[in-house]
Chains A and B, each alone.
Chain A
Amino acid sequence: MPRRNITVILLALLAGTAGSVSDAAPAAASPVAIVIHGGAGVIERSRMTPERAASYRAGLGAALDAGYEVLERGGSSLDAVVAAVRHLEDDPQFNAGRGAVLNQDGDAELDAAIMDGAGPRAGAVAGVHHVRNPIELARLVMDKSPHVLLVAGGAEEFALEQGMALVPRGYFRTEAREQELEAARRAAAARASGKPTTLIMPPGVSASMGTVGAVALDRAGNLAAATSTGGLTNKHRGRVGDTPLIGAGTYASNDSCAVSGTGEGEYYIRQVVAYDVCALVHYSRMSLAQAVHEVVQVKLRRTGGEGGVIALDRSGNIAMDFNSAGMFRGARDSRGRREIAMYRDAGD
Chain B
Amino acid sequence: MHAIAIHGGAGAVPRATLAAERERNYRAGLEAALDGGYAVLERGGTSLDAVATAVRLLEDHPSFNAGHGAALTRDGAAELDAAIMDGSRLRAGAVASVRHVKNPIELARRVMEKSRHVLLVGAGAEEFALEEHFSLVPNQYFRTPERLEQLQSEQRGEHVSDLVPPAAQGTVGAVARDARGNLAAATSTGGMTNKRPGRVGDSPIIGAGTYAKDGVCAVSATGHGEYFIRAVAAYHVCAAVEYRGFTLEQAVHELLHVILRTLGGDGGLIAIAHTGRIVMDFSTEGMFRGARDASGRREIAIY
Contact, CB under 8 Å: A151 / B229: no
- Given the known interface contacts A269-B118, A275-B235, the answer about A151 and B97 at a Cβ–Cβ threshold of 8 Å is yes
- B263/A239 in contact, CB under 8 A: no
Q: Which of A94-137 contact B (CB under 8 A)?
A: 115, 119-122, 126-127
B209-246: CB near A (< 8 Å → 1, else 0) gives: 00100000000000001100111100110011001100
Query: Would A246 and B198 count as touching, CB distance under 8 A?
Result: no
| B200, CB-defined interface residue at 8 Å | yes
Q: Does B44 contact A (CB under 8 A)?
A: no
Q: Measured between alpha carbons, how far is A222 from B22 in the docked complex, in Å?
A: 49
> B235–A147 contact, CB under 8 A?
no
Tell which of B88-96, B154-162, B292-300 binds the partner. B88-96
What are 29 A-B contacts with C-beta separation under 8 Å? A148-B226, A148-B229, A149-B199, A149-B229, A150-B196, A150-B198, A151-B96, A151-B122, A151-B198, A152-B97, A158-B198, A238-B121, A238-B124, A239-B124, A241-B119, A245-B119, A245-B208, A246-B232, A247-B229, A265-B118, A266-B118, A270-B85, A270-B91, A272-B206, A272-B211, A275-B207, A276-B235, A283-B239, A283-B240
With A120-B230, A279-B239, A279-B243 as given contacts, are A236 and B115 in contact (CB-CB < 8 Å)? Answer: yes
Given A127-B124, A272-B207, A272-B211, verify A236-B90 contact (CB < 8 Å): no
Check: B149 CB closer than 8 A to any chain A CB.
no
Q: How far is the CB of A149 from chain B (nearest CB, A)?
A: 4
CB of A146 to closest CB in B, whole Å: 7
Q: Is A44 in the interface zone, CB < 8 Å from B? A: no
Given the known interface contacts A121-B230, A152-B97, A246-B205, the answer about A270 and B90 at a Cβ–Cβ threshold of 8 Å is yes
In the bound complex, CA of A237 to CA of B128 (Å): 9
Q: Is the CB of B91 within 8 A of A245?
A: no
| A147-B196, A239-B124, A240-B119 known; A245+B207 contact, CB < 8 A | yes
The answer to whether the Cβ of B43 comes within 8 Å of any Cβ in the partner chain is no
Q: Which residue of B lies closest to A251 (CB)?
A: B232
Indicate if the CB atoms of A247 and B263 lie closer than 8 Å. Answer: no
| A-B interface contact total, Cβ < 8 Å | 143
A303 at the interface (CB under 8 A from B): yes
Chain A residues near B133: list those with CB within 8 A: none
- Chain B residues with a Cβ under 8 A of chain A: 85, 90-92, 96-97, 115-125, 127-128, 196-201, 205-208, 211, 225-226, 229-232, 235-236, 239-240, 243-244, 263
- Which residues of the other chain, B, contact A238 by a CB distance below 8 angstroms? 120-125, 127-128
- How far, in angstroms, from A299 to B88 measured CA to CA in the complex? 15
Q: Tally chain A residues at the interface, Cβ within 8 Å.
A: 45
Given contacts A120-B231, A236-B115, A284-B243, contact A248 B207 (CB under 8 A): yes
Interface of A is mostly: mixed
| B121 and A152 within 8 A (CB) | yes
With a CB–CB cut-off of 8 A, which chain A residues contact B235? 247, 272, 275-276, 279
Q: Which one, B117, B122, B232, contacts A266 given CB within 8 A?
A: B117
Return chain A residues, CB-CB under 8 Å to B91: 270
Given A245-B207, A272-B211, A279-B243, also A151-B121 (CB < 8 A): yes
Tell me the complex Cα distance, A145–B197, Å: 13
Query: Is the CB–CB distance between A158 and B206 below 8 Å?
Result: no
Instruction: Give chain B nearest CB distance to A263 CB in angstroms.
Output: 13
CB within 8 Å for A154 and B123 given contacts A147-B226, A266-B116: no
